[in-house]
Structure 1
Amino acid sequence: MAKAKALWVYARRTVLCCVVLTVCGAAAAGQIRYSIPEEMQKGSFVGNIAQDLGLEAKALSERGVRVISRGRTQYFALNVKSGHLITAERLDREQLCGRAEKCLLNCEVIADDVMKVFRIEVEIADINDHAPNFQAQAMELKISELTAVGTRISLPEAHDPDVGVNSVQSYGLSSNEHFSLDMQSGPGGVKYPELVLETALDRETRAVHQLTLTASDRGDPAKSATAQIRVLVVDANDNAPRFAQPVYKASVLENVPRGSTVVSISAIDPDEGSNSEVSYAFTRISAQGSQVFSLHPGTGEITLVGDLDYEETAAYEMEVEAKDIDDLSARAKVLVTVLDVNDNVPRIEITSLFSPVPEDSAPGTAIALLHVRDGDTGLNGEVSCSIPDHVPFRLQKSVDNYYSLVTARDLDREQVADYNVTVTARDRGAPPLWSATTIAVQVSDVNDNAPAFSQAAYSVWVSENNARGASVFCARAADADWGDNARVTYWLAEGELQGAPLSSWLSVQAESGAVHALRALDYEQVREIRFAVEARDGSFVSFEFY
């Protein structure tokens, strides 16, 4: 309970401080940064996205604001009711970032209505949730009674997954008249303890010495671990092995097969006989590294026993020890750099799509938002996107690896009603890898065509003494639009004949355009009737005269 309370207080203090630092100019810069401690429970508060982006929390859902994490795991989620960014699971800094100095997780906030992307960077701060730990709680050392005063003997290093002051900071040794403890810094600044012989040993006086080694961090509260050291005093081995170089470096392609030799280490012991025989072992290697590399104890060859993956781990750091028969030893560091091979195909993700698009959309209208990613680096990870030239669209680069598909020129549904736009992503590797995806874009109709008759005027002959309601003619107009925009209705234009309205002589059926005589016609009274028919759709009118 006390630990949970302390975590909550620390989280609150950290987040409040971070908000003050990141709000100013965050939206303009397109990036917001927060900092939270590790081990916070799922659903814990990270930051106020709505406030920091200048949005109203109640409008987030309507505006299509959402959070996307690039990767296999979604670490954060957005509470659209409160506008808060929250954790989607418990975050373990050591699991996420190992011993990296800074642990940063990235996600993106996408606002669909404005098609804008904001980058969110969350720093996971270390807490002292691990105690130092010795790989073995008991060990045995053999030291010759002829060993010179001042001789240094490497002691086991304690490991603590935490970083900074929360990691191992100091070592202590139980009181003893013959030995003292001294700290040494290895390659890369790694500290390890050494046992220093202060006074000469005499096996006949005392053959065994019991020592206690303590490793402590400086967290709040501080944590420690102990290891028991049993020193056996033996005869005559007065030289320790020496490595040919303090640091061994090797570079290897990520597709090198198992069984390949990565690097060979070598130490020399100037003693003779069995006292000069040296054996090799790892003294510090990550759990992942131990699954990939094997060190031959006799030859010092480090070989591959697992698969390398640059995208998973780009470098390995190990520490090796050369020890002779009396446990006199020397240490060296091994750095293995993994070289990238173009083994990842670019991937295209359609993040947002707005279809159908009205045919009267102006050039530059956004239709889709795409995200392109390639797990490789360098030229192998540089991706370019393209679409065919014949389509009326173009790709526009957005933030990072985002592209917008926009209209490049005017659209006309009556000519082309739908498009299948193929987007191709290609990297610059040798040979290059590529992938493609197709975006279906439909063009919606706009009422931009007026009804049209086949000719401007028609002449129709009708016999006199016709029956009332007899069909005289059928006026038909065509409209190039679609749906309701192409639905045509017909009307008889106003006019008079012999002092009476035309509507008392003729009628036009609104849906079919059929013209009917409402009375019997008499050639001796009326020899010609001129009238106009209007054809109308939702917006336009066309006229036909007789």
Structure 2
Amino acid sequence: MEKAQRLRRCGERTVLYCVVLPVCGAAAAGQIRYSIPEEMQKGSFVGNIAQDLGLEAKALSERGVRVISRGRTQYFALNVKSGHLITAERLDREQLCGRAEKCVINFELLVEDEVKLFAVEIELTDVNDHAPSFQEGKLEFRISETTAVGTRYSLEEAQDPDVGINSIRDYQLSSNEHFSLHVQAGAAGDKYPELVLEKPLDREEQAGQDLILTATDGGDPVRSGTARIHVVVLDANDNAPVFSQPLYRVSVRENVPVGSALLTVSATDADEGLNAAVAYSLRKTKDKASETFQVDSRTGDIVTVGTLDYEEEAVYELEVQARDIGDFWGRAKVLVTVLDVNDNAPQITVTSLSTSLSEDSPPGTVIALLYIRDKDSGGNGEITCSIPNHLPFRLQKSLDTYYSLVTARDLDREQVADYNITVTAKDSGTPPLSTTTFVFLKILDINDNAPAFSQAAYSVWVSENNARGASVFCARAADADWGDNARVTYWLAEGELQGAPLSSWLSVQAESGAVHALRALDYEQVREYNVTVTATDKGAPPLATTQPVRLQVSDVNDNAPLFEEASYSAYVAENNPAGASLLRVRASDPDLGRNGRVTYSLGRPDGAPEWKAGPKQKPKYRERSVPYSYNLHWDSTFSTGSKDSENN
């Protein structure tokens, strides 16, 4: 109850603010900042996101607004009904940020329907929820009675996970006549209590003393912790160990094996014999440091006992003690700097993705939003992100760790129907490390291709006297599009032939393009048909292509020769010389070529063998001469007959 009240009072003093700042990037919209106290309960109000984004709360769900956390744990959630940003976990500043001066949690807010990002920064302010404490609840000092007045003894510093005004503020020592307390301030603001001898000790008068050391913080209310100090007065040994230097520095790569020696510290004692023997130990070490380093009590060698990780801890500050047999202490600091090694490959997270895109999408259309980071630092953490050059896409940087995959030029589904885009993130370490991920994109078809006929022009021969409904030829057109956009139907353009609609002569099957003759064709009536076939796809809107077709009718010998007159007669003079022309007859055949070539012959009506006119043959004459053609047949009136080259 007391802690909740303190948190409430602290929360009342905390100023809550929101700032929306514009930032560069095609997919980024701005930055929002809030400040809240730690230890707020799960579900506590952080800020009105809907109001700060200029949106109505009911629009958040429709527009796909959601929180994208960078880490494994999501500390904040969005209430899409109220439009409020709330805590998703109880937040402990000390657990999240340790003793860092400023504790900031960053994440992004994605407006999915516009593929826009808002960077959100929430500062977690400290609450005085920890009291100072000493690692050792009881301290013991063995002090020689010969110790000079003014001698100082380092005391254990109290630890307080809180920061700022809520951290250690002061130390007090219980009232006594021999000792006082002196507090030194370090460069980083740390306070180091020291026990100062103000009056000489006399073992015969008092062999020991008990003191109480109290550490207080600056919070409201003030919290405190205590440690008991027991002083044992000894004789003789009156010199403390002294290190060769007050500060040791060493740099080490994070990949050194466990058990590696980093450096050796050395302290000497001006006393002699057993009083000069020194034992080394580490003090004032955090839990992580005590698990990572160890000092050899005899040699002063500092070695690693745990693995180093630059990404977890870059600098360790150790304090080494040298203690002699008379409990005199000397101390020195050891600063261990961990050097980064390129041991982390870049990480790629696909935050937002479109799996399909229309082929008429303009250049610059966003396909995917990628979150890319590398835990290493410096050049080891500098990332170059790329995709193959031949693809019609490009990467553009949004926020510091975000890339947008966008179209770079026009797409054509008929050339490439889908893409498997390889995204590679590579750091600048030695050797460089890289990570790849794949983005599959399907290109959606639009009706941008008209049907195309298989031939530039059609010229077809059809024999006359065909059966009604017979197929005379087939038009073929292909469409490069897909689905309904590529489904082709055929039809004939309207027209007339010999006064009748063309559709009464010819028809086309809509699905196959097969053209059928609806009546028998007659070469002697029409020798050539010129029609137009149209191929139309079923796109929206539909596209069409027309193709002229020349349909030529080939002749069949289906007509006998016809004389110009039904009968011929001639009169021949009796003395008409041989070879004189008696009669000329004419016959014609409407068929073409050889089928229409006519020959003539002369025959007798009584069935006698045929007689042909010639120079040595003597025809019988009647009263007057009549011209005759090449071939004649005898009958009572000199009537003639003819035949074509194929029909007798």
When the two structures are superposed, what TM-score results if normalisation uses the length of structure 1?
0.91
SS of residue matched to 2:307: coil
Report how far residue 479 of structure 1 moved.
Answer: 0.8
Question: Which residue is 1:355 aligned to?
Answer: 355
Distance 1:393 1:29, change over 3 A: closer
Judged with a 3 Å threshold, the aligned counterparts in structure 2 of structure 1 residues 97 and 465 are, in CA distance, closer, same or farther, namely closer
Alpha-carbon offset, residue 302 of structure 1? 1.3
- Shift of residue 383, structure 1, vs aligned partner: 1.5
SS in 1 for 2:130: coil
Q: String of CA shifts for 1:347-395, please: whole Å, max 9, x gaps.
A: 2222222232222233333322222222111111111122222222222
Matched, 1:265 2:268: no
Superposition deviation, residue 315 in structure 1: 0.9
Structure 1 counterpart of 2:244? 244
Letter in 1 for 2:257: P
Task: Give the alignment partner of residue 545 of structure 2, picking from 532, 536, 542.
Answer: 542
- The aligned runs of 1:76-155 (5 Å cut-off) are 76-155=76-155
Q: Does 1:67 align with 2:64?
A: no
Q: Is the partner of 1:36 in helix, strand or coil?
A: strand
Q: Distance in 1 between matches of 2:458 and 2:81?
A: 65
Instruction: Give the secondary-structure state (helix, strand or coil) at the position aligned to 1:229.
Output: strand
Distance 1:280 1:72 in 2: 41
Measured after TM superposition, the shift of residue 26 of structure 1 is 7.8
* Offset at residue 523 of structure 1 (A): 6.6
**Alpha-carbon displacement from aligned partner over 1:105-155 (angstroms, at most 9, x marks no partner):** 221223333333332222121111111111122222212222222222222
- Trace 1:420-435 onto structure 2 (pairs within 5 A): 420-435=420-435
Deviation at 1:457? 4.0
| Matched position secondary structure for 2:95 | helix
Other-structure match for 1:35:
35
Task: For CA contacts below 8 A with separation 6 or more, give which structure has more relative contact order.
Answer: 1
For 1:391-540, list aligned pairs within 5 A.
391-455=391-455, 456-459=457-460, 461=462, 463-464=464-465, 466-467=467-468, 469-517=469-517, 529-537=529-537, 538=539, 539-540=542-543
Q: Conserved in 1, the CA contact under 8 Å of 2:21 and 2:32? A: no
Distance in 1 between residues matched to 2:164 and 2:394, nearest whole Å: 50
Q: Within 5 A, what are the aligned runs for 1:101-250?
A: 101-186=101-186, 188-250=188-250
- Aligned residues of 2:293 and 2:304 also touching (Cα < 8 A): yes
In structure 1, what is the Cα distance between the partners aligned to 2:466 and 2:229?
131
Q: SS of the counterpart of 2:209?
A: strand
Please say if 1:316 is aligned against 2:313: no
- Residues 277-296 of structure 1 correspond to what in structure 2 (within 5 A)? 277-296=277-296
Deviation at 1:504, TM superposition (A): 4.6
In structure 2, do the counterparts of structure 1 residues 181 and 356 end up closer, same or farther at CA, with 3 Å as the change threshold? same
Distance 2:508 2:29 in 1: 65
Matched letter for residue 224 of structure 1: S
Give the whole-Å Cα distance in 1 for the aligned partners of 2:302 and 2:31. 44
1:137-175, Cα deviation, whole Å (9 max, x unpaired): 222221222222222222222111111121121111111
Give 1:541's aligned amino acid.
A
Is the contact made by 2:460 and 2:473 (CA closer than 8 Å) also made in structure 1? Answer: no
Aligned-pair CA distance for 1:458 = 4.2
Tell me the secondary structure at the aligned position of residue 318 of structure 2. strand
1:482 Cα deviation from its structure 2 partner: 0.9
Alpha-carbon distance between aligned partners in 2 of 1:176 and 1:29, rounded to the nearest angstrom: 65
Compared CA separation, residues 188 and 266, structure 1 to 2 (3 A):
farther
> 1:180-232: CA deviations, max 9, x gaps?
22212245332121122222222212212121111111212211111122222
Deviation of residue 478 (structure 1)? 1.2
CA contact (8 A) 1:26 1:53 kept: no
Q: Distance in 2 between matches of 1:462 and 1:118?
A: 77
Aligned 8 A contact 1:418 1:443 in 2: yes
Q: Distance in 1 between matches of 2:232 and 2:417?
A: 90
**CA gap 1:107/1:204 in 2 versus in 1, 3 angstroms:** same
SS of structure 1 residue aligned to 2:442: strand
Secondary structure, in 3 states, of the residue corresponding to 1:379? helix
Q: Are the counterparts in 1 of residues 32 and 121 from structure 2 also a CA contact under 8 Å?
A: yes
Q: CA offsets per residue over residues 69-120 of structure 1, 9 Å max, x none?
A: 2233333333333333333322221111111111122212233333333322
Other-structure match for 1:18: 17
Residues 2/323 of structure 1: CA separation in 2 closer, same or farther (3 Å cut) = same
Distance in 2 (CA, whole Å) between partners of 1:151 and 1:516 is 123
CA distance in 1, matches of 2:5, 2:517: 93
Task: Give the whole-Å Cα distance in 1 for the aligned partners of 2:343 and 2:65.
Answer: 34
Q: Summarize deviations over 1:331-355 as a string: whole Å, max 9, x none.
A: 3222111001111122222222223
- The letter for the 2-side match of 1:189 is G
Q: Contact 1:320–1:334 (CA<8 Å) still a contact in 2?
A: yes
SS at match of 1:189: coil
CA distance in 1, matches of 2:29, 2:163: 31
| Closer/same/farther in 2, CA of residues 534 and 416 from structure 1, 3 Å limit | same
Unaligned runs of 5+ in 2: 550-648
Residue 465 of structure 1, CA deviation: 7.4
CA deviation after TM superposition for structure 1 residue 525, in Å = 6.6
Query: 1:465–1:294: structure 2 CA closer, same or farther, 3 Å change rule?
Result: closer
Pairwise CA distance, 1:316: 0.8
Residues 20-76 of structure 1 show CA distances to partners (whole Å, capped at 9, x for unaligned) of xx2465898832222222222233332233333333433333433332222333333
Q: Closer, same or farther in 2 for the Cα pair 1:200/1:30, shift >3 Å? A: same
Helix, strand or coil: the match of 2:274?
helix
Is 1:389 the counterpart of 2:392? The answer is no
| CA deviation vs aligned residue, 1:204-263 (integer Å, no higher than 9, x gap) | 122121211111112122111111222222212222222222222111011111211222
Q: Secondary structure at the match of 1:423?
A: strand
1:418-445 deviation per Cα after TM superposition (whole angstroms, max 9, x unaligned): 2232222222112222222232232222
Question: How far apart are the structure 2 equivalents of 1:526 and 1:56?
Answer: 77
Change (3 A) 1:487 1:312: same
CA contact (8 A) 2:293 2:305 kept: yes
Pairwise CA distance, 1:471 = 4.1
Measured after TM superposition, the shift of residue 521 of structure 1 is: 6.1
* Higher deviation after alignment, 286-295 or 184-193: 184-193
* Structure 1 stretch displaced more, 283-292 or 500-509: 500-509
Q: Identity across aligned pairs (percent)?
A: 67
Match of 2:554 in 1: none
Q: Where in structure 1 are there 5+ consecutive unaligned residues?
A: none
Q: Which stretch shifts more, 313-322 or 41-50?
A: 41-50
Q: Which has the larger radius of gyration?
A: 2
> How far off its partner does 1:285 sit?
0.7
Deviation per CA, 1:445-497: give whole Å up to 9, x if none: 22111012223444452644744x55454333211111111011223323334
> Counterpart amino acid of 2:238?
D
- In the alignment, the residues of structure 2 paired with residue 113 and residue 201 of structure 1 have an alpha-carbon distance, to the nearest angstrom, of 80
3-state SS, counterpart of residue 230 of structure 1: strand
Q: Measured at CA, do residues 26 and 482 of structure 1 come closer, stay the same or move farther in structure 2, by a change above 3 Å?
A: closer
Could you tell me how far apart the structure 1 residues matched to 2:45 and 2:507 are? 74
- Report the equivalent of 1:54: 54
